[in-house]
Amino acid sequence: MTARVDHGVTSGTFSLDGETFDVDNNVWVVGDETECVVIDAPHSVEGILAVVGERRVKAIVCTHAHDDHVRVAPELRERTGAPILLHPDDRPLWELVHGGPEDPEATLWDVDLTDGQTFPIGGATLQVLHTPGHSPGAVCLYAPELGCVFTGDTLFHGGPGATGRSYSDRPTLESSIRAKLFMLPGATVVHTGHGEDTTIEAERDRGF
């Protein structure tokens, strides 16, 4: 079977540093006809499962731990039995959403992501690229066989993701993009956490 990328959009809120904003998040699902990986878990379990369909979810891979990307991850895990994967450097942000050591109701993710880690899905391979800056543990997922990269909030159509909030740093983000993303083939399609697609070449040419 051949791997493919399926897409949906869910709507909700993003909250950090005492402010809350309405946001629309992309839902990306990679797999074949029988199994898949869900990238991020924003807002609505039902909205995510509508993209998944009848397939078995092998993993819930979080690009970072802002609440609009991980809020429903534990519920999605409960519904599907799939483990949650997150880079451990995003623990402080995860704990803002799902509780820390002092919270008896706290819940954790299951598997730590590491830079360079790969895992197969439906005839394709997802490679983890640690791209800190938007958050300390932000990652992108490169799928060379599919000619695309899933960038979460690291890189958008129009440039780098947002910084200026807790746990973010603009110079670190720009360095990550140059070192990890701009080295990919220019035709690589960038599937973002919010908004429309772009390409590596378009964003590299745009500069920042």
Residues 172-197 have a mean pLDDT of 98
% of the chain surpassing 90 pLDDT = 95
| pTM of model > 0.85 | yes
Residues 21-48 have a mean pLDDT of 98
What is the 3-state secondary structure of the chain? CCCEEEEEEEEEEEEECCEEEEEEEEEEEEECCCEEEEECCCCCHHHHHHHHCCCEEEEEECCCCCHHHHCCHHHHHHHHCCCEEECHHHHHHHHHHHCCCCCCCCCCCCEECCCCCEEEECCEEEEEEECCCCCCCCEEEEEHHHCEEEEECCEECCEECCCCCCCCCHHHHHHHHHHHHCCCCCCCEEEECCCCCEEHHHHHHHCC
- Does the pLDDT of residue 1 top 70, yes or no? no
- Does the pLDDT of residue 193 top 90, yes or no? yes
Residues 191-199 have a mean pLDDT of 98
